[in-house]
Amino acid sequence: MIKVGIIGGTGYTGVELLRLLVQHPEVALRTITSRGDAGALVSDMFPSLRGRVDLKFEDPATADLAGCDVVFFATPNGVAMQQAPELLDAGVRVIDLAADFRITDIAEWEKWYGMAHACPDWVAKAVYGLPEVNRQKIRDARLIANPGCYPTAVQLGFMPLVEAGVIDVSHLVADAKSGVSGAGRKAETHILFAEASDNFKAYGVAGHRHLPEIRQGLSLMAGGSVGLTFVPHLTPLIRGIHATLYGRITKEIDFQALFESRYAAEPFVDVMPPKSHPETRSVRSANTCRIAVHRPQGGDTLVILSVIDNLVKGAAGQAVQNMNIMFGCEETTGLWQLPVLP
Amino acid sequence: MIKVGIIGGTGYTGVELLRLLVQHPEVALRTITSRGDAGALVSDMFPSLRGRVDLKFEDPATADLAGCDVVFFATPNGVAMQQAPELLDAGVRVIDLAADFRITDIAEWEKWYGMAHACPDWVAKAVYGLPEVNRQKIRDARLIANPGCYPTAVQLGFMPLVEAGVIDVSHLVADAKSGVSGAGRKAETHILFAEASDNFKAYGVAGHRHLPEIRQGLSLMAGGSVGLTFVPHLTPLIRGIHATLYGRITKEIDFQALFESRYAAEPFVDVMPPKSHPETRSVRSANTCRIAVHRPQGGDTLVILSVIDNLVKGAAGQAVQNMNIMFGCEETTGLWQLPVLP
Amino acid sequence: MIKVGIIGGTGYTGVELLRLLVQHPEVALRTITSRGDAGALVSDMFPSLRGRVDLKFEDPATADLAGCDVVFFATPNGVAMQQAPELLDAGVRVIDLAADFRITDIAEWEKWYGMAHACPDWVAKAVYGLPEVNRQKIRDARLIANPGCYPTAVQLGFMPLVEAGVIDVSHLVADAKSGVSGAGRKAETHILFAEASDNFKAYGVAGHRHLPEIRQGLSLMAGGSVGLTFVPHLTPLIRGIHATLYGRITKEIDFQALFESRYAAEPFVDVMPPKSHPETRSVRSANTCRIAVHRPQGGDTLVILSVIDNLVKGAAGQAVQNMNIMFGCEETTGLWQLPVLP
Amino acid sequence: MIKVGIIGGTGYTGVELLRLLVQHPEVALRTITSRGDAGALVSDMFPSLRGRVDLKFEDPATADLAGCDVVFFATPNGVAMQQAPELLDAGVRVIDLAADFRITDIAEWEKWYGMAHACPDWVAKAVYGLPEVNRQKIRDARLIANPGCYPTAVQLGFMPLVEAGVIDVSHLVADAKSGVSGAGRKAETHILFAEASDNFKAYGVAGHRHLPEIRQGLSLMAGGSVGLTFVPHLTPLIRGIHATLYGRITKEIDFQALFESRYAAEPFVDVMPPKSHPETRSVRSANTCRIAVHRPQGGDTLVILSVIDNLVKGAAGQAVQNMNIMFGCEETTGLWQLPVLP
């Protein structure tokens, strides 16, 4: 059994990690911490776990994190870079669901996240946890930078095209829509039900923190810098990301076959048949990314549709997938539950 | 392995049965039928099942239903009473998720359902599949009348009080609220998104078909006739029923202890601590009924709050629970997934 | 023109007052205050008002409130009782949309609202602003206690029966459901979209602040104390209250005719035909209360369905209705817009 | 007073026309027809109109349509082209809210709409009713082709750029999201609440009927053919369209100033300040289009955000705006109600 700890379990990625790890047959959940709610029963905050999770939130100062095989950070940006090094030095493997180790260019990271980085050396050693790209490196990684939700949907959607060099990477467009849980479980006015329900808006058009992360990933695939216009939107779903991706064709091939081939061996990427329109609910609560490839009216612009559940393949599920790879489990272990539809 | 067939798999209870049965470790799903969609891939209608369910809908006339150990009817009212007898006679056990075998008074059934009953003799032999009441009879039943969604939430909420004879059963009030999936996957105007979203209404106040079913169940518990005012409402959820139950106290006891004691051994009924308010989402996609007991201002009226997922404990999950009991499986097998929250 | 001021314009009742008053042909909106947002354009906070409202939020300390004919308090409980007396003494008429002047029993108010009352003498002089009850007194009132949202829906639903003395007032049940805007525009976790969407729950079953207000109103109608069980619920609507009311018949009369007669002259109460089920959306954004009268299965329990828009007839619209009465306008002036459906 | 008739009043554009026309001070609503519901009270179908609209649906065969000054067709595609000519010949002016007269290329229309056109000659005489483009022609038009919802949002968003010739019109991208009322009040499974709620998907990527309409409009503005990739999406709103538009800059100018100047005199187009993100709810139930202009990271791609209420500026409101122009009313008459927010 893998001994697991969770730091910061009171947000949506925290409770989703709990849901997945409690049901994981090879995991022994040792501790879950919360500075603010130490001592409270986890199931008092999340009654969905009543009768199944007896843990209390523990104070991170006293919790036995060093005795874990792996610790998940489900904390705000800036926490893991402070606390992970001590655990790493103690031999604990770490999966950070926040952004602290995602961007290898420290100056770029500091610009977008507005703080000085506390441990640039671990950034260099971290592995970006997108299994479809880095499966081999993940196996032996000590520190995983779990990808952001938008970056997962957008990169998986563009990847076959960018790797194959068949679209113009200097002018990619990613029009992405996210459910409201993506904003986290924070008491903020703009994500109140009465504000976000029956409403649709773009946000962060001038620049969203996931832009440099996506650009970095796509540049690695392209073997050179890419140009990307990324527009995120808030849509009245609880869960779900839908990325609509536009790229201009530079080389003719069978694009459907390209996608099917690239993802043939991937357990969590489903390339749908031609003319499909993936729905976010078709992946609700599951670790799957569904993709459809379109070429409207046979023109020179490809449209790729890519959907994930932002809390699963976009966060906690992908983190567990990474853990499975790191500890030699079957990759689908604990992640094979069917989507909940309707 | 239990060989299973599903008749009528294109509605919400059908797809929910699929979700649960596909993940059930002791089930071999043999056939799923649909007259209208025979030949179509199940996963084309419900893309959430892509890659996991390879079945096609079969024509009920040619499907090997008689070779199954148990057949679930997820059909409209009036179908099972026509088709089940032949299967029953062939030794197949049957679980009907519709209402055909729920009401033992045939005249009463015919009044509420507006048709003549095709096989009254099987009504007499059917077992009402509420495990918390009829577990022993279910074990050996050949035909299960799976309870309705409202009846499950209301009966589980009132049961300890009615059995104990501590409230006035002549004037019970059940104010119940259902998510829209309870209306089925039918192309009807009033359940369109643009009609049912951001809207709340009562319906069927003059008389809803679940009224005689609830009244029958409570009367059996009370050992005599009961008086019930039942008002259902449509609320903009996909899944979930919340029953708010009112009863006047006739005998003082410790009501919280009564509930805790009555359900102590029940794996799927959770009596919450005093002052709790169960949320429908706390049971979303799970087979659990959560109940809270209130006595506002110490007055003479008890208020019971009871929530279920109408598609799970209110339909497909309870049907699988019944199957587990019938076939000697652990009762929680295939039903132990955690609720999806948020 | 009526010179109008609004104190506390950044919540939902504030912006709804703005919507109604800006379009009111006999109103000159002089000032709207906000301590926290003084100096900001109202239309920057509420872009729905862009191009139509040029006002900035003013500091309440410097705003010319004393120059107004009437001032609306759209503030949290406890503010108006501090600030209204000075305005009242200056001859300004005041309409308080909060609860400071609703309960005439000061000790009761202090118990439910958890603070000492700052001006009990004005409570005695205030008029409870339910026009269907107090129209004559409202005309000359200097201070209006605008009713709460639940109290409006519940009182209008029970009123004809209680006034006529035809139901048992010792055991009334009010099962009420509210949209989330009723909780205000406050940054609190439980009303986030990802918490309140696709979810339904009761709250405050042990005792909600609107209970004493409703009980006071019904007692005045009954000419004696009443017993009431009041259970509020949160439902995923932006706007709307649906009250389902239960009362046991003590005297036979034509209940439908009773309601039609009682409300025949009321412009904002619509008694629907028998067997109707009013929908909250049928009053969305309008100052109307729609009511239907049911007697299920001809039994001894009446079921009354009463719907309002909590922000309009349950708050800002009723406040404007009171203003119209106070200043001799046609009662429907500025309130005659049709509901927005769908 | 303008004598008005409505043909086909049982859909969402029909009831929205009713809401606007009933409150229009210069309109006398003479008749509203429905073949299927003739004889029924309009307010029985739409209880939001109770007490305000006494009309019954009339049979189109007997209704006095020829006595009207103007008749609105709120009918499915293909009806107006059959029935409008007779009215036009009788001197009645006609506003068609469907697509029959929008596309001037008859072959193109027949390809996208899958039927033969019944009166090509009237297509040539019809005026496309986008007031911001064709105000002068609308004044004297006998027949108005009221624009589609997506075409309104997309054309108003691109128009200043295309007219000014400052973006590459050969590769425009319009990523548009619509509320579910845009699909009409039709009993179809995919727009049920339980299907469309908590779900997001693209549709019609291969080709949507609004594509040729948008392309035609933009081509006229550009003075030559344009290339457009148009991807519509269904999002869980009742009302609202959000168009996110992408165009590559070919000539540097002050884009914000361009938009402000182009729409300075337009009562129903609001160009927001730089860095704004218009929300669909900020135009809910109003005839306004709000637009924001972005140039992310100072790159060569412009992002325009354009929102409307699909039932108002995208259908009924624009139709009334056209009527106002045709009959010499102030353009904002009857259309000046503030958006309903929240």
SS3 for A144-205 is EECCCHHHHHHHHHHHHHHHHCCECCCCEEEEEEECHHHHCCCCCHHHEHHHHCCCCEECCC
Residue C337 in any domain: the answer is no
Cross-strand bridge partners of residue B72: B6, B95
What pLDDT digit, counting tens, does each position of D146-184 carry? 999 999 999 999 999 999 999 999 999 999 999 999 999
Taking 70 as the pLDDT cut, the residues of chain B under it are none
% helix / strand / coil in chain D, to the nearest 5? 35, 20, 45
Q: Do A76 and A196 reside in the same domain of the chain?
A: no
Strand C289-294 vs strand C269-271: parallel, antiparallel, or unpaired?
A: parallel
DSSP B219-256: HHHHTS---EEEEEEE-S-SS-EEEEEEEEBSS---HH
Chain D residues whose beta carbon lies within 8 Å of the beta carbon of residue C47: 272, 276, 278-279, 282, 290
Q: What is d(CA C257, CA A190) in angstroms, rounded to the nearest whole number?
A: 46
- Of the partner residues A52, A282, A336, the one whose CB lies closest to the CB of residue B338: A52
Q: Is D169 helix (H, G, I), strand (E, B) or coil?
A: coil
Strands across the sheet containing B172-178: B201-202, B228-234, B172-178, B241-248, B301-308, B289-294, B269-271
Q: Which two tokens stand for residue B9?
A: 């798999």
- With CA atoms as reference, the chain B residue closest to A180 would be B342
Chain D residues whose beta carbon lies within 8 Å of the beta carbon of residue A248: 171
Q: Number of structural domains, chain B?
A: 2
Q: Is B329 a catalytic residue?
A: no
Is C238 in Cβ contact with A193 (below 8 Å)?
Answer: yes
Residue D9 scores a pLDDT above 90:
no
Q: What is the mean pLDDT of residues A188-200?
A: 97
Return the percentage of chain C with pLDDT > 90, whole number.
99
Q: Which of C205, D34, A326 is nearest to B293 (CA)?
A: C205
Q: Do C169 and C73 reside in the same domain of the chain?
A: no
* pTM, 2 dp: 0.97
Q: Do B129 and B181 reside in the same domain of the chain?
A: no
Q: Which of D68, A270, C96, C274 is nearest to B51 (CA)?
A: A270
What pLDDT digit, counting tens, does each position of D86-103 carry? 999 999 999 999 999 999
Is B15 in Cβ contact with A338 (below 8 Å)?
Answer: no
- Of the partner residues D23, D48, D276, the one whose CB lies closest to the CB of residue C341: D48
Angle at the Cα of C320 from the Cα atoms of C316 and C321, rounded to 5 degrees? 115
Is A181 in Cβ contact with B48 (below 8 Å)?
Answer: no
Q: Do D159 and D107 reside in the same domain of the chain?
A: no
Q: In b/e form, how buried is each residue of B315-324, taking b as 16+ CB within 10 angstroms?
A: bbbbbbbbbb
What pLDDT digit, counting tens, does each position of C108-119 carry? 999 999 999 999
Is A340 in Cβ contact with B284 (below 8 Å)?
Answer: yes
Radius of gyration of chain B (CA): 19
- Of the partner residues A230, A238, A301, the one whose CB lies closest to the CB of residue D171: A301
Cα dihedral sign, C336-C340-D2-D5: negative
In angstroms, the separation between the Cα of residue A173 and the nearest Cα of chain B is 27
pLDDT value of position B9: 85
Q: In b/e form, how buried is each residue of C120-129, taking b as 16+ CB within 10 angstroms?
A: eebbeebbbb
Chain D residues whose beta carbon lies within 8 Å of the beta carbon of residue C284: 48, 340
- With CA atoms as reference, the chain D residue closest to B311 would be D194
Is C238 in Cβ contact with D47 (below 8 Å)?
Answer: no
pLDDT value of position B161: 98
Q: Do B134 and B245 reside in the same domain of the chain?
A: no
- Contact indicator for D243, D131 with CB cutoff of 8 Å: no
Q: Which of D303, D207, D226, D231 is nearest to A303 (CA)?
A: D231
Q: Do C304 and C319 reside in the same domain of the chain?
A: no
- Amino acid sitting at position C65: L
pLDDT value of position D123: 98
Residue A278 scores a pLDDT above 90:
yes
Backbone angles phi, psi at A104, to 5 degrees: -80, -25
- Of the partner residues A186, A189, A238, the one whose CB lies closest to the CB of residue C197: A238
Q: What is d(CA D217, CA D127) in angstroms, rounded to the nearest whole number?
A: 12
Residue D136 in any domain: the answer is no
Q: Which chains lie within 8 Å of chain C at 3 or more CB pairs, if any?
A: A, B, D
Residue C342 in any domain: the answer is no
- Amino acid sitting at position A172: L
Q: Count the neighbouring beta carbons within 10 Å of the beta carbon of residue B59.
A: 13
Q: Do D74 and D165 reside in the same domain of the chain?
A: no
- Of the partner residues B179, B198, B301, the one whose CB lies closest to the CB of residue C238: B198
- Contact indicator for C188, A228 with CB cutoff of 8 Å: no
Q: Which chains lie within 8 Å of chain D at 3 or more CB pairs, if any?
A: A, B, C
- Amino acid sitting at position A324: N
Q: What is d(CA B217, CA B128) in angstroms, rounded to the nearest whole number?
A: 9
The 8 Å CB, 24+ separation contacts for A33-40 are: A33/A5, A33/A6, A33/A7, A33/A8, A33/A9, A33/A57, A33/A58, A33/A59, A33/A60, A33/A63, A33/A65, A34/A8, A34/A9, A34/A10, A34/A58, A34/A60, A35/A59, A35/A60, A36/A10, A37/A10
Is A238 in Cβ contact with C198 (below 8 Å)?
Answer: yes
Q: Do D208 and D300 reside in the same domain of the chain?
A: yes
Is B341 in Cβ contact with A283 (below 8 Å)?
Answer: no
Residue C9 scores a pLDDT above 90:
no
Is A244 in Cβ contact with D233 (below 8 Å)?
Answer: yes
Q: Do D233 and D298 reside in the same domain of the chain?
A: yes
- With CA atoms as reference, the chain D residue closest to C179 would be D342
Residue D106 in any domain: the answer is yes
Q: Do D87 and D207 reside in the same domain of the chain?
A: no
Q: What is the mean pLDDT of residues C133-156?
A: 98
Q: What is d(CA C72, CA C7) in angstroms, rounded to the nearest whole number?
A: 6
Tally of CA atoms within 13 A in the half-sphere of B239 that contains its CB: 27
Q: Which two tokens stand for residue B227?
A: 């008086």
Strand B301-308 vs strand B241-248: parallel, antiparallel, or unpaired?
A: antiparallel
Q: What is the mean pLDDT of residues C284-301?
A: 98
What pLDDT digit, counting tens, does each position of C81-115 carry? 999 999 999 999 999 999 999 999 999 999 999 99
The parent domain of residue C14 ranges over 2-146+315-326
- With CA atoms as reference, the chain A residue closest to D206 would be A296
Strand A172-178 vs strand A201-202: parallel, antiparallel, or unpaired?
A: unpaired
Chain C residues whose beta carbon lies within 8 Å of the beta carbon of residue D23: 336-338
Q: What is the mean pLDDT of residues A234-249?
A: 98
Q: Do B280 and B219 reside in the same domain of the chain?
A: yes
Q: Which chains lie within 8 Å of chain A at 3 or more CB pairs, if any?
A: B, C, D
* Sequence-ordered list of residues with C-beta below 8 angstroms from that of B156, at least 6 positions apart, any chain: B130, B132, B269, B289, B291, B306, B308
Chain C residues whose beta carbon lies within 8 Å of the beta carbon of residue D283: 48
Tally of CA atoms within 13 A in the half-sphere of C293 that contains its CB: 20
Chain D residues whose beta carbon lies within 8 Å of the beta carbon of residue B236: 193, 197
The single residue of D68, D119, D149, D289 carrying the catalytic annotation is D149
Tally of CA atoms within 13 A in the half-sphere of D334 that contains its CB: 26
Chain C residues whose beta carbon lies within 8 Å of the beta carbon of residue D181: 342
Residue A9 scores a pLDDT above 90:
no
Residue A45 in any domain: the answer is yes
Residue B198 in any domain: the answer is yes
- With CA atoms as reference, the chain D residue closest to B236 would be D193
Q: Which two tokens stand for residue C162?
A: 């209680």
Overall size of chain B counted in residues: 342
- Contact indicator for C243, B175 with CB cutoff of 8 Å: no
Residue D293 in any domain: the answer is yes
Return the percentage of chain D with pLDDT > 90, whole number.
99
- With CA atoms as reference, the chain D residue closest to A274 would be D206
Chain B residues whose beta carbon lies within 8 Å of the beta carbon of residue A270: 50-51
Chain D residues whose beta carbon lies within 8 Å of the beta carbon of residue B189: 185-187
Q: What is d(CA B43, CA B39) in angstroms, rounded to the nearest whole number?
A: 12
Q: What is the mean pLDDT of residues A250-278?
A: 98
Question: What CATH number corresponds to the domain at position B249?
Answer: 3.30.360.10
Residue A133 in any domain: the answer is no
Q: Which of B175, C195, B20, C232 is nearest to A47 (CA)?
A: C195
Q: Which of A50, B244, A282, B341 is nearest to C199 (CA)?
A: B341
Q: Is D176 helix (H, G, I), strand (E, B) or coil?
A: strand
Is D188 in Cβ contact with B238 (below 8 Å)?
Answer: no
Is B198 in Cβ contact with D238 (below 8 Å)?
Answer: yes
Angle at the Cα of B23 from the Cα atoms of B21 and B25, rounded to 5 degrees? 90
Is the previous residue joined to B296 through a cis bond, with omega within 30 degrees of 0? no
Q: Is D232 helix (H, G, I), strand (E, B) or coil?
A: strand
Is B203 in Cβ contact with C279 (below 8 Å)?
Answer: no
The single residue of C68, C119, C149, C329 carrying the catalytic annotation is C149
In angstroms, the separation between the Cα of residue C307 and the nearest Cα of chain A is 19
Question: What CATH number corresponds to the domain at position D114?
Answer: 3.40.50.720
What pLDDT digit, counting tens, does each position of A29-74 carry? 999 999 889 999 999 999 999 999 999 999 999 999 999 999 999 9
Q: Do A100 and A227 reside in the same domain of the chain?
A: no
Q: What is d(CA B31, CA A88) in angstroms, rounded to the nearest whole number?
A: 52
Is B282 in Cβ contact with A338 (below 8 Å)?
Answer: no
Q: Which of D284, D271, D286 is nearest to D334 (CA)?
A: D286
